[in-house]
Structure 1
Amino acid sequence: MTHKIEGASPAVRPAETVATSAAQRAGAERAQSVSATGASESVRLTGEAESLQALERQLGSAPAGIDMARVNALRSAIADGTYRVDAEQIATRMLDFDRALTK
């Protein structure tokens, strides 16, 4: 998926202003966990950010719980014209879902 962004680029603000406003938005406890200074420009992540990165890596490497044999069987049935839609089953599940939402 791609997005085209048009328009003028944002105005560049001095580094001190950017750091101060970011710290104010993030709150004091989070602003203390992230640091970027001078020419060395290092960043230290919070424990929460590190946990999110670990979760992202885990989800990226793990199978998504998709039964590829079933997917391939359905693709084949659709391709050869043998797949049939059960309208009554779809309607029943839609009504069940609607009932669950209104509880």
Structure 2
Amino acid sequence: MTHKIDGALSPALRQIDAAASTSVQSRSGAERGQPVGATAATDQMRLTGDATGLQALERELGAAPAGIDVAKVNAIRASLADGTYKVDAQAVADRMLSLENALTK
């Protein structure tokens, strides 16, 4: 036996659907047609010791300039702005090679 599904409700199902859509009271006395109110969230989170330590470290790093030489940064900004900043290609290459050697050991 085969049935064609065409999306239309049969007359019997239309009657059931119409009866269900009318305003019906639930056992608690609340009207079923009204939206249900959300309950208060009760999720809780507890951090591990490592996470607490990372948060403390983040606060320390955010509060301090983290050893940045502000005068040097400003001097480099000024030399970049006026076009006098020179890049030492040999120094950059030497540092890249030393980093590569440190990573492969």
Alpha carbons of structure 1 residues 43 and 79: separation in structure 2 relative to 1, 3 Å: same
Identity over aligned pairs, percent: 56
Give the Cα separation in 2 of the matches to 1:76 and 1:53: 35
Choose the corresponding residue for 1:93, options 92, 95, 98. 95
Task: Give structure 1 stretches of 5+ with no counterpart.
Answer: 1-37
Give the paired residue count. Answer: 66
Give the Cα separation in 1 of the matches to 2:41 and 2:88: 63
Name whichever structure is richer in helix by fraction.
1
For 2:42, the aligned partner's letter is: E
Give the Cα separation in 2 of the matches to 1:44 and 1:88: 52
Alpha carbons of structure 1 residues 75 and 45: separation in structure 2 relative to 1, 3 Å: same
Q: TM-score, normalised by structure 2?
A: 0.49
Offset at residue 43 of structure 1 (A): 3.4
Alpha carbons of structure 1 residues 40 and 91: separation in structure 2 relative to 1, 3 Å: closer
Q: TM-score, normalised by structure 1?
A: 0.50
| Larger Cα-atom Rg | 2
Give the Cα separation in 2 of the matches to 1:44 and 1:93: 44
Alpha carbons of structure 1 residues 44 and 66: separation in structure 2 relative to 1, 3 Å: same
Give the Cα separation in 2 of the matches to 1:99 and 1:51: 32
SS at match of 2:46: coil
Give the Cα separation in 2 of the matches to 1:82 and 1:67: 20
